[in-house]
Amino acid sequence: MNLTGTLFVAALGLCLAAAPAAVLTPRRARPLLAGAATTAAGLAGAAAGVTALSGQGWSARLDGVLPLAGVRLDLDPLGAMFVAVTGAVAVCAAVYGVAYARHGLDGRVAQATPPLFVASMLLVPAAASVSTLLVAWELMALTSLLLVLAEHRRRAAVGEAALWYAVMTHLGFAAILAGLAGFAALAGGETFEQLRAAGLPPGARDAVFLATLAGFASKAGIVPLHVWLARAHPEAPSQVSALMSAAMVNMGVYGILRVGLDLLHGGPAWWWLLVLGAGALSALFGILQAAVASDLKRLLGHSTTENMGLVLIGVGAAGFLASGGDSMLAALALAAALLHVVNHSAFKTLLFLAAGSVLHATGTRDLDALGGLRARMPCTTALFAVGALAASALPPGNGFVSEWLLLQSLIHALPTSGVAGAVTMPLAVGVIALSAGLAIATFVKAFGVGFLARPRTPGAERASESPPAMIGGMALAAASCVILALAPATVLPGLSRLAASLVPGSGHPPGPVPVSGEVTLRLTGYEGTISPLLIAVALAIAVIGLLGAVRLFASRRARRAARLWDCGAGPMSPRMEYTATSFAEPLQRVFDDVLEPESDLDVTPTKESAYLVESVRFRARIPDRIERRLYDPVLAAAGALGRAATGLANGSVHRYLAYGFYALTAVLVALAVIW
Amino acid sequence: MIGLWRKIRKTGRVAEPAPERADGEVVPRAAELGGSVQIRHVDAGSCNGCEVEIASAFGPVYDAERYGARLVASPRHADALLVTGPVTRNMEVALRRSHEAVPEPRLVVALGDCARDCGAFAGAYGVVGAVKDVVPVDVEVPGCPPPPEAIVEALRGLTGR
Amino acid sequence: MTGLIGAVSQVVLVAVGSPLLAGLMRQVRARLEGRAGAGVAQPWRDLRKLARKEPITPHGTGWVFRLAPLVLAGTVLVVAAVVPLVTTLSPMDGVADLFAVTALLALGSVALALGGLDTGTAFGGMGASREVTVMALVEPTILLSVFALSVRVGSTNLGAIVTSAVHDPLEVISPVSLLAAVALAVVTIAETGRIPVDNPSTHLELTMIHEAMILEYSGPDLALIEWASAMRLSVLLGLLASLFAPWGIATAGAGLAAVVLGMAALVIKVAALGVLLAAGEVFMAKLRLFRIPELLAGSFMLALLAVAASFFLA
């Protein structure tokens, strides 16, 4: 076993050992033990991913583990990247979780499940056969479902969210199962090698791709299969939200890449235009919902849908360009998508962990009730600011670099990709731009309303800084954001190589990497450079220079503290501050037709006169329009069917015996006719 | 649009030529401002007569802006408070706070007879007193209401132009 | 070496000249309104005075409020060093392309919006909310215009785009260029808060966008913001001039004389654009806030047409 193998097995072993250990140890030591083991496992997993990505692959075959098929593992570069990301996210979440567990999450199940969840997410990208993948996938679904349910005794919404999640994830699983089982049956074998070698008829290829796309897209929270995400991610404990939103959703992207690009070797252009379209829709819809959301964790959940959408725009563009034969640009788009996966994982981990800190310090996730945390939780505020900067894709944040690469790949695609490209690419650029703009609005709102100004409720007033372990977890995530932002070259070469080798038709050995350069990133074959580090340095020099100039030339008068300008009246109560809802109101108005907000107004007049008002109640809600149009009718129909079926079961034993008799007869008759 | 253009052409310049300044002296505390005075207007209980005259002082004919004076929206941006009317009880605290909100160096111009010594409202039950009873006053402009020329003259005493 | 001198000179020119541009525009407006006007140097007098005044930190504000003016001005200075105004040879050219430039300007607006939110006043929040709304809607137009302009050159690096326009002057009157120019002009007006999107000289808080965010700033902080706003306007006007009328700009192989010529050309072009903008504002009223999206949607369509034209005419 080589280094990669040793590390990977160590990671899995630590996870699998941590679970029973957490069950057996006393409550007080449990979080520390589970956290330490998961941290170590995450580190080992990340290291295994990095070594595998840098060329030292590893594969194993354990025939005895699963009946009939056995387990096959293979850490190739594609899987390794996702293993590395999962490991890194697990480290941050586990460090954070040690302190977070104090808030009623130190039960046996709540502590034993996270290591298993991490193990399953390490296994999914390492699986090299259909059965292994499906088992790991189901393990991932079950462990995450358990974790979503962790706080079900405290809030009623948890149960509903978990139900949605359970149903959606299993429908997704069924789609993947159908697609991959069919694929394996047609290929005559279930290992990925056999699948790669199989030549499927076009119709079957389409069916396999569409079925697996639906399943994987639902895991990635892609519209219209996103409805579970914005429910389940906020209701889970925050370090689990981080794991789900920063690591688990990536598995959807992994699946699409694995099946579409690796096993099926790319496909017709329409597959990828479909992917691109779904990505564009998700990006816009996700960020629009986030822009008008006032629940901090829900906002972050919607933003995950947006970012996965951006990733799929890149993946779709890559597949589309590769189908047109432009493998260099395809590799660029893919590298951008992969970098965005990494970036998103880094900042989403940070943001969810910070949101968890806020939730525990104040007892609420409602932005309208927060505020004033800058003075009360300085570290959390500063760390959230780093994450928000990254998520709004502004320099010098890491999100900017990947979006820049994505835009470059789309822009350069225009002249060569025919009319389909000429229609798609500008619209995709428009979508990315609008989602970037709305992301800025969203995160200005999240940071500005949630953390700045004055506290809006007593809960926010009483907030205090989180314990060191929680800050440590967030700081790790923030550090990776900063590194990715200033020196993307630490990960880009590996990702570019991976992208270049993954693009179908790139040949062996794959072509040159699409992006290169240490400080200044340079596109290969196209003119385009950017230097995130130098932008940050220039900005820092300018700001420091200005500070010096102000000190030197400006007022010698001391800075004075004064009361806020309240037009001479006052004092201004916190209720006069702008809230998240009021902040988003202009956007809500502009996108009124898309969002279809609902509001109702109840005016109760006094008894004496109809013109005197006793009380006014105003309620506004922005429902998920897709859910309303797509899911509600189905749910209503299922409910109606259920109610109709109750008429069949009226409790009479005779009737049930009769059903049994008729059913048996029908089967026998049918068999008699067929045979 | 063409119509508006014609009107602009036909009207030409309506600003009256700047009169010579009689004494040419500058309020000492305003010397530091160097030809730029931002003004926040506070109506402490005026009958709106002074407001009408302020509006014409900043209108095209008298064009107080040409001397470097400008009305601003926030006392934080201001150098001078332009207070009109006797200070009523309801406006006393507001006036103090407005004054407090202005960054140093800050000046106060009491505009009109009411602001100087309560004018016709002296001794009225709702009046606290003149402006100088509430905040320190640097410049007083007499008149009920003061003509725009007098307002412009006082402002020129602040800007020094 | 010429590049470095050019870059430094354009930063200095922007830093020194921007308040004069603001003064010129106010003067033009005053003359068209029949006034005498305060003179072109008035904004500089205002800045000098503000710098001498006392800075005030309102209760309840913190480092975000303090940092915002510095970041706002810092982003504009960096942009002024990057974009080709005097020369296309800026050593910073490869550091940031047109996407990065728009993102940097957005960063400045974000800083100011956060500064407004940090005060916790209703007006601060209102200004911030409106500013980011307009910014979100402007973004697609900017990026699509960039797209349209970059197709012909095959690069989004500003130096490359401008150099290509210098070498092929007829490109400037191509439909792509004209459509993109109109789209970017609308964007410039929206980004710099001019009429009809925002009224820079309004005193009515309820109609404010930019001004509402800065109601709490005073003294040197306010001076920085005013200065940065002026610089933003002149950088964006200068960028428009360089993209669509790149004559006189110092390109590869140029000497010091070309840099001087470039500076003169920049001053003339930006002044002309400023006069045009100020004169145009006299004829217009501010749009209602919720009519602004329609204006921006229109400019988005123009940008989309520009991209389509760039494909079908190529």
Phi, psi of C259 (to 5 degrees): -65, -45
A459 and A542 in a single domain? The answer is: yes
A233 and A382 in a single domain? The answer is: no
Cα(C292)–Cα(A416) distance, rounded to whole angstroms?
Answer: 36
Cα(A379)–Cα(A381) distance, rounded to whole angstroms?
Answer: 5
A501 and A600 in a single domain? The answer is: no
Residue-range definition of the domain harbouring residue A31: 1-174+224-254
Nearest CA in chain B to C201: B72
Q: Which residues of A95-104 are buried (b: 16+ CB within 10 A; e: fewer)?
A: bbbbbbbeee
Nearest CA in chain B to A559: B103
Cα(A447)–Cα(A466) distance, rounded to whole angstroms?
Answer: 17
> What angle, rounded to 10 degrees, do the helices at A532-553 and A468-486 form?
110
Q: Which of C143, C164, C216, C312 to mutate to test the interface with A (most CBs of A within 10 A)?
A: C143
Nearest CA among C84, C192, C200, C52 for reference residue C135: C192
Average pLDDT over residues A370-397: 94
pLDDT at A585: 92
Min CA distance, B4 vs chain A (Å)?
33
| Domain boundaries defined on chain B | 38-159
A623 and A497 in a single domain? The answer is: no
CB contact under 8 A, C113 and A453: no
pTM of the predicted model as reported, rounded to 2 decimal places: 0.95
C94 vs A394, A531, A578: nearest CB: A531
pLDDT at A453: 87
A243 and A133 in a single domain? The answer is: yes
Phi, psi of A2 (to 5 degrees): -85, -175
Residues of A in contact with B97 (CB under 8 A): 563, 566, 568, 570
Structural element, H or E, at residue A616: strand A613-621
A433 and A456 in a single domain? The answer is: yes
In a domain, A298, yes or no: no
Residues of B in contact with C219 (CB under 8 A): 103
Is A530 strand, coil or helix?
strand
B74 vs C202, C215, C282: nearest CB: C215
Residue A191 pairs in a beta bridge with: A129
In a domain, A476, yes or no: yes
- Establish whether this prediction's ipTM goes over 0.90: yes
A114 and A164 in a single domain? The answer is: yes
Average pLDDT over residues A203-227: 94
Exposure of A640 in the CB half-sphere (CA atoms within 13 A): 6
Nearest CA in chain A to B93: A568
For domain B38-159, the CATH architecture is 3-Layer(aba) Sandwich (3.40)
Q: Which of B9, B43, B58, B66 to mutate to test the interface with C (most CBs of C within 10 A)?
A: B66
Say whether pLDDT at B23 is over 70: no
Residues of B in contact with A566 (CB under 8 A): 97
Nearest CA among A276, A264, A347 for reference residue A318: A276
A495 and A625 in a single domain? The answer is: no
pLDDT at C302: 93
A516 and A636 in a single domain? The answer is: no
Say whether pLDDT at A197 is over 70: yes
Q: Which of A310, A326, A377, A411 to mutate to test the interface with C (most CBs of C within 10 A)?
A: A411
Min CA distance, C31 vs chain B (Å)?
7
B74 vs A557, A563, A565: nearest CB: A565
> What angle, rounded to 10 degrees, do the helices at A398-413 and A378-391 form?
0
Min CA distance, A540 vs chain B (Å)?
28
Looking at every residue in chain A, the average pLDDT score rounds to 92
Cα(B153)–Cα(A245) distance, rounded to whole angstroms?
Answer: 67
Average pLDDT over residues A636-643: 94
A355 and A387 in a single domain? The answer is: yes
Average pLDDT over residues B12-16: 89
Q: Is the CB of B7 inside 8 Å of chain C's CB atoms? A: no
Residues of A in contact with B94 (CB under 8 A): 567-569
Residues of A in contact with C75 (CB under 8 A): 539, 542
Q: Is the CB of B34 inside 8 Å of chain C's CB atoms? A: yes
**Residues A278-337: pLDDT tens digits?**
999 999 999 999 999 999 999 999 999 999 999 999 999 999 999 988 888 999 999 999
Residues with Cβ within 8 Å of A292's Cβ and at least 6 positions away in sequence, in order, are A584, A587, A588, A591, A595, A597, A622
Confidence of residue B140 (pLDDT cuts 50, 70, 90): very high
**Residues A595-606: pLDDT tens digits?**
889 889 998 988
Residues of A in contact with C110 (CB under 8 A): 392, 394, 440, 444
Confidence of residue B119 (pLDDT cuts 50, 70, 90): confident
Q: Is the CB of B2 inside 8 Å of chain C's CB atoms? A: no
Average pLDDT over residues A130-157: 92
Q: Which of A431, A535, A566 to mutate to test the interface with C (most CBs of C within 10 A)?
A: A535
Say whether pLDDT at A367 is over 90: yes
Cα(C157)–Cα(C82) distance, rounded to whole angstroms?
Answer: 10
Nearest CA among C200, C159, C184, C164 for reference residue C236: C184
Confidence of residue A651 (pLDDT cuts 50, 70, 90): confident
Whether A578 contacts A448, CB under 8 Å: no
Cα(A161)–Cα(A153) distance, rounded to whole angstroms?
Answer: 13
Sign of CA dihedral A477, A482, A484, A485: positive
Structural element, H or E, at residue A388: helix A378-391
The letter for the amino acid at A14 is L
In a domain, A514, yes or no: yes
A585 and A627 in a single domain? The answer is: no
Say whether pLDDT at A506 is over 80: no
Nearest CA in chain B to C45: B36
The region of weakest confidence among A151-165, B126-140, C67-81 is A151-165
CB contact under 8 A, C49 and B66: no
pLDDT at B31: 86
pLDDT at A260: 93
pLDDT at C310: 86
Q: Is the CB of B6 inside 8 Å of chain A's CB atoms? A: no
Burial of A345 (0-12, 13-18, 19+ CB in 10 A): buried
CB contact under 8 A, C283 and B4: yes
For C:19-58, CB contacts with A below 8 A are 51-58
Chains that touch A (3 or more CB pairs under 8 A): B, C
CB contact under 8 A, A557 and B104: yes
pLDDT at A288: 94
pLDDT at A507: 65
Q: Alpha carbon of A190 to those of A82, A196, C198: distances in Å?
A: 22, 10, 63
Nearest CA in chain C to A385: C64
Higher pLDDT residue, A621 or A387? A387
Residue ranges of chain C whose pLDDT lies below 50:
none
**Number of domains within chain A:** 3
Whether A557 contacts B105, CB under 8 Å: no
Min CA distance, A625 vs chain C (Å)?
22
Confidence of residue A469 (pLDDT cuts 50, 70, 90): very high
A449 and A519 in a single domain? The answer is: yes
In a domain, A139, yes or no: yes
Average pLDDT over residues A365-380: 93
CB contact under 8 A, C78 and A538: yes
Whether C81 contacts C11, CB under 8 Å: yes
Residue A523 pairs in a beta bridge with: A515
Burial of A524 (0-12, 13-18, 19+ CB in 10 A): middle
Is A453 strand, coil or helix?
coil
Q: Is the CB of B104 inside 8 Å of chain C's CB atoms? A: yes
Confidence of residue A167 (pLDDT cuts 50, 70, 90): very high
Residues of A in contact with B100 (CB under 8 A): 562-563
pLDDT at A652: 85
Confidence of residue A64 (pLDDT cuts 50, 70, 90): confident
In a domain, A12, yes or no: yes
For B:94-123, CB contacts with A below 8 A are 94-95, 97-98, 100-101, 103-104
CB contact under 8 A, A568 and B95: yes
